[in-house]
Amino acid sequence: MNFKVATWAECVHCGRRYDLDEMRYNCECGGILDIRRDLDAIDGAALKRTWEERWGLKRGALASGVWRYKELILDLPDDRIITRQEGNTRMYEAGLAGKYAGLKNFLLKHEGENPTGSFKDRGMTCGTTAAMMYHASSVACASTGNTSASMASYAAIAGLKSVIFIPEGKIAYGKLAQALAFGGKTLQIEGNFDDAMALVQDVCRELNIYLLNSINPFRIEGQKAIGFEVLQQLDWQVPDWFVIPGGNLGNNSALSKGMQELYQLGIIDKIPRIAVIQAAGADPLYKMWKNHTPFAPVKDPETIATAIKIGNPVSWEKSLRGLEWCHGVVEEVTEQEIMDAKAMVDAAGIGAEPASCCSVAGAKKLVDAGVIDPEASVVGILTGNVLKDPDAVIGYHKDELQHMGIRGTYANRPILIKPTVAAVRRALGC
């Protein structure tokens, strides 16, 4: 394969390099791979100017909030790019959620505003483009929901068959609906996400299907664009912190890799710190980081934030490396903290799915602990759309999640009344 600057795959564990002509997801040693390129051959200042020129584009592949940055994503000709013009998501003042977290300068980057309602589209546009580059005819993934929704959509656009492995009975309804609607062949397996992930890797090898989980290094390249776009929206002023949920740990790995590359190219002059937030019931990275222990999977992960209900994350090693680069921290949050933070994000008028709200719950916890300064500039990543998981929303506001140990602290209960003005008065208290 020919790229403008030398580009290769490199093992995160042992550093061995592979030519991209060879399609693979793992090193001989079992480590996972990164896409690397010769950054010394790139002029950072010129690149930044190119990206600024593309900012106002209205049509075409380079109007995408991923492919605008294609020199650091995958430098293919535009007509080989499979895109839904993903990215270009808004960044909001956190409002009520900022007060709740105790931050004066808190922005929420809403990745739930992507075409299929989660940041997964940024990785998937790149992963599907790579699938086409390798002349694949089918793609597959194991998913807690959003990956499958995204993959089914992009596969449909590219004319690829898609096969989805989801944990039985453990997927939010909005996500399952999308996977089915976009025509993904959906296999619900008896087991959890980690079982599905192990199975899909075997299946892809045996049946020669292209694997689109975040073990796929091209997906990570696409997801770097979240950070690029935030910085461009901030006129390249680097925030003090990014706060981001962690499940399979691909997204925080992407964010830190992107920041490291911008820094190396001189496009930014400092590297922001990163806080990765896990749910307390699915927290292998947190345990490892906090106790300085070797990686150990969490056996039966449990959390209402199904998007991060993962006990054996594939990208833990990339994630740790990113924490080093970004002087990062890892925090964990309880079910109650996630759902209360979500109530604030939602009541602020912004709205996001449960996993996303780890960003706000985690920011609050780190401010309370004195790790994040209340005056610091902080960007929280909201990873998915509020409509992805209506059951969690209704359950909280009707205070019907007690069986999961969650109270509706800020519940906004629906009220059933007789159709009379008097009843309305009573309900409104006037």
Binding site for ligand PLP (CB under 6 A): 118, 120, 146, 214, 245-251, 307-308, 353, 355-356, 383-384
Decide whether 118 or 233 has the Cβ nearer to ligand PLP. Answer: 118
Contacting residue, 1, 5, 6, 14, with Zn ion by CB under 5 A: 14
- Exposed (0-12), middle (13-18) or buried (19+): which is 54, by Cβ within 10 Å? middle
- Binding flag, residue 82, Zn ion (CB under 5 A): no
Compare residues 71 and 346 and give the one whose CB is closer to ligand PLP: 346
Alpha helices in 86-145 (DSSP H): 96-101, 120-133
Q: Minimal CA–CA distance to 387: which of 154, 165, 178?
A: 178
Contact 243, 379 (CB under 8 A): yes
Determine the Cα–Cα distance for residues 237 and 226; give it in Å rounded to an integer.
Answer: 15
What are 330's two structure tokens?
A: 């890892």
Q: For residue 304, give Cα distances in angstroms to 171, 309, 341, 425.
A: 10, 8, 13, 36
Closest-approach residue to ligand PLP (CB): 384
Binding part of the chain for Zn ion, among 15-23, 147-155, 170-178, 357-365 by CB under 5 A, reads: 15-23
Q: Say which residues have a Cβ less than 8 Å from residue 380's Cβ, sequence separation at least 6.
A: 94, 106, 107, 108, 109, 242, 243, 244, 359, 360, 363
CB of 2 to Zn ion, least distance (A): 25
Separation of alpha carbons 302 and 310, rounded Å? 8
Q: 35: which strand partners?
A: 9
Which residue, 167 or 246, has its beta carbon nearer to ligand PLP? 246
Residue 246 binding partner per list Zn ion, ligand PLP, none, with a CB distance cut-off of 5 to 8 Å that depends on partner kind: ligand PLP
* CB atoms closer than 10 angstroms to residue 325: 15
The bridge status of strand 377-382 relative to strand 273-279 is: unpaired
Minimum CB separation from Zn ion for residue 10, in Å?
9
Q: State the nearest-atom distance from the C-beta of 145 to ligand PLP, in Å.
A: 7
CB of 308 to ligand PLP, least distance (A): 5
Give the one residue of 1, 5, 29, 424 binding Zn ion; rule: CB under 5 A: 29
- Please, which residue, 160 or 382, has the CB nearer to ligand PLP? 382
Q: How far is the CB of 31 from Zn ion (least distance, A)?
A: 4
Which of helix, strand or coil describes residue 46?
helix
The least distance separating ligand PLP from the CB of residue 81, rounded to whole angstroms, comes to 22
Q: Is 102 in the site for Zn ion (CB under 5 A)?
A: no
Q: How far is the CB of 415 from Zn ion (least distance, A)?
A: 60
Closest by CA to 332, choosing from 273, 293, 373, 289, is 289
Output 64 or 319, the one with its CB closest to ligand PLP. 319
Q: Looking at beta carbons only, is 248 or 260 nearer to ligand PLP?
A: 248
Closer residue to ligand PLP, CB minimum distance, 71 or 111: 111
